[in-house]
Structure 1
Amino acid sequence: MKSQLVILLIIVSSTNADQQCDYLLQQCNQLKTKCRPDKITIKSCCDLINFPLSKAPSAVYQMKCKYGSRFITAHAYCDMDTGDGGWIVIQRNIKDGVNTFNKTWKEYEEGFGDLNGDKLWYGLNLLNYLTKSGHWELRIDFQFDNHTWSHLHYNTFSVGSASQKYPLIIEGFTGITPIDFVAIHPLNGTKFSTADNDNDDWGAGNCATDQGSGWWYYECSRIHPNRQPPSLRHKSKWYNVLKIEMKIRPQDCIIQ
């Protein structure tokens, strides 16, 4: 993941940053042939929804634009097929018996995995940079053991700063499933925890050590997308998941 992600902390004016991003996108749009995804520079995956040449495919793209007071260049996998598209995939995990999410605090900060692969964590630093400006929504898609699919949707998603231990703000459940697996109130405002940086509310131990993965734990919470196998719990019942994917986009992402 580190080789795919570069963050440039350059202070620039919002107007200049927006103009530069628009110009880079227009350069590719004006070509007479179909653009390769890796040759397109976008402000967010939302830019691809109304792509003028043809339907933009789900693929890895380069984002280059200003978020808050920081100018960020980063690669992202854009999901253009789910829920009208425009989603930045920030997490992906499959049931395979291999726990690749038992990582350190630093690794969760920087991000790890393969943007095109089955295991991905986008990085707490970048999530904070992205969601500190504007308003973002979250979608969680998952496939149960019986191969049926469902999803959760939250109108509000943001991640706080490193000094605050990356607290999670997540509100406005509107998912298709009849059960809010995330148990929204216990998770809202929780700090991130890893095996080497315990910030949960479980007095008897460290949830990240107990579950084998980093997460926003309230005690040891009801959603475990990063453990193996990924799982969801409602009341006393556990649901094992074959595949789970988390993705975000700005609330004002225009769908036409």
Structure 2
Amino acid sequence: MITFHVIFMSLFTTGIIASTQCDTHINAIRKNATGLQYPCGLPSDDNCCYFKENHFDQSPSGVYKMNSWCSGRLSIVGMYCDTTTANGGWTVIQRRKDGSENFNRPWADYEKGFGDLNGEFWYGLKAMNCLTQTGKWELRVDFEFPNKTRSYLHYNLFRVGNASEEYPLTIGGFTGETPTDPFSTQQPLNGMKFTTYDKDNDKDDSINCADGERGGWWHRACWSINLNYRYKSSGVGFLYLTKQYYNLRWIEMKIHPLNCSPQ
């Protein structure tokens, strides 16, 4: 299996692309979106919402290459874009679907990202910080219960802090189909730093919430929601709703700017 690590790759040469070259790129995109090469646009093409709004509006969901600014550097990165859910324009930052990827990983892996962008993956704390630090972003979590019914969580505020702060979570403005908000009920996670088995930042003095193949996550104590918990079909679940824990068959975490409105 080919894995896609979210690493900021070689520096993209800055310059003005001639209009004829732009037309060639756009035409190629329209004819064969699955074979998409570098987008032809401004350096701010750094998320799936901007890309859909400004390049073409009938793009299928999938992995795209685009320009991304981070720490003053312009790089080419791969992103999985969900172009259909709730008008599209979503950058997917995590997916679980079959247990094929190991989420019991150290801090360094969670920081840089791991997995297959077409399969199971974690996009990386560094990349999440890079995307969300510049403005107001929203989070949507789509998921499927073991009985194959689906639901979602939605938040109007989502931001991941920087490395020096150990990537604290800012989240709020809950809406969605679930009766309770697992990020704020029982164990409120707003402001919590990220925790892995080799870096314990949770508030439970008796245990590291990431020990025992539980995966890295933001924890106050263990836990009301942990979407990186080991994948399984029975036993203690990792999503707490209405006084019950649930396991999930499929999860996608996705983000886009709050003012995103691709049509």
Q: Note whether the superposition's TM-score is higher than 0.5.
A: yes
Amino acid at match of 1:204: S
| Alpha-carbon distance between aligned partners in 1 of 2:104 and 2:254, rounded to the nearest angstrom | 21
| Alpha-carbon distance between aligned partners in 2 of 1:61 and 1:167, rounded to the nearest angstrom | 28
User: Where does residue 56 of structure 1 map in the other structure?
Assistant: 59
Aligned to 2:210, what secondary structure does the other structure show? helix
Q: Displacement, 1:250? A: 1.1
User: Where does residue 240 of structure 1 map in the other structure?
Assistant: 247
| Alpha-carbon distance between aligned partners in 2 of 1:90 and 1:73, rounded to the nearest angstrom | 17
Aligned to 2:58, what secondary structure does the other structure show? coil
Aligned to 1:248, what secondary structure does the other structure show? strand
User: Where does residue 189 of structure 2 map in the other structure?
Assistant: 187
Residue-by-residue CA offset, 1:89-129 (whole Å, 9 max, x unaligned): 11111354x67110000010111110001x21001111111
CA contact (8 A) 2:114 2:124 kept: yes
> Structure 2 vs 1, CA of residues 250 and 67 (structure 1 numbering), >3 Å: closer, same or farther?
farther
User: Where does residue 228 of structure 2 map in the other structure?
Assistant: 226
Q: Displacement, 1:210? A: 4.3
| Alpha-carbon distance between aligned partners in 1 of 2:144 and 2:21, rounded to the nearest angstrom | 37
User: Where does residue 87 of structure 2 map in the other structure?
Assistant: 84
| Alpha-carbon distance between aligned partners in 2 of 1:196 and 1:92, rounded to the nearest angstrom | 23
> Structure 2 vs 1, CA of residues 205 and 79 (structure 1 numbering), >3 Å: closer, same or farther?
same
Q: Which stretch of structure 1 is more off in the superposition, 222-231 or 148-157?
A: 222-231
- Unaligned runs of 5+ residues in structure 2 are 40-44
| Pairing 1:58-137 to 2, within 5 Å after superposition | 58-66=61-69, 69-94=72-97, 96=99, 100-117=102-119, 119-137=120-138
Q: What's the C-alpha RMSD, in Å, of the aligned pairs?
A: 3.0
Aligned to 1:47, what secondary structure does the other structure show? helix
Q: Verify: 1:36 aligned to 2:37, yes or no.
A: no
Q: Displacement, 1:235? A: 5.4
Aligned to 1:106, what secondary structure does the other structure show? helix
User: Where does residue 205 of structure 2 map in the other structure?
Assistant: 203
TM-score normalised by L of structure 2: 0.83
Aligned to 1:187, what secondary structure does the other structure show? coil
Q: Displacement, 1:211? A: 5.6
Aligned to 1:186, what secondary structure does the other structure show? coil
User: Where does residue 249 of structure 1 map in the other structure?
Assistant: 256
User: Where does residue 170 of structure 1 map in the other structure?
Assistant: 171
Aligned to 1:83, what secondary structure does the other structure show? helix
- Unaligned runs of 5+ residues in structure 1 are none
Residue-by-residue CA offset, 1:174-232 (whole Å, 9 max, x unaligned): 11222212226711000000000101000101000046210001111211211123631
CA contact (8 A) 1:6 1:73 kept: no
| Identical-pair percentage | 41
> Structure 2 vs 1, CA of residues 135 and 247 (structure 1 numbering), >3 Å: closer, same or farther?
same
| Pairing 1:14-33 to 2, within 5 Å after superposition | 27-31=24-28
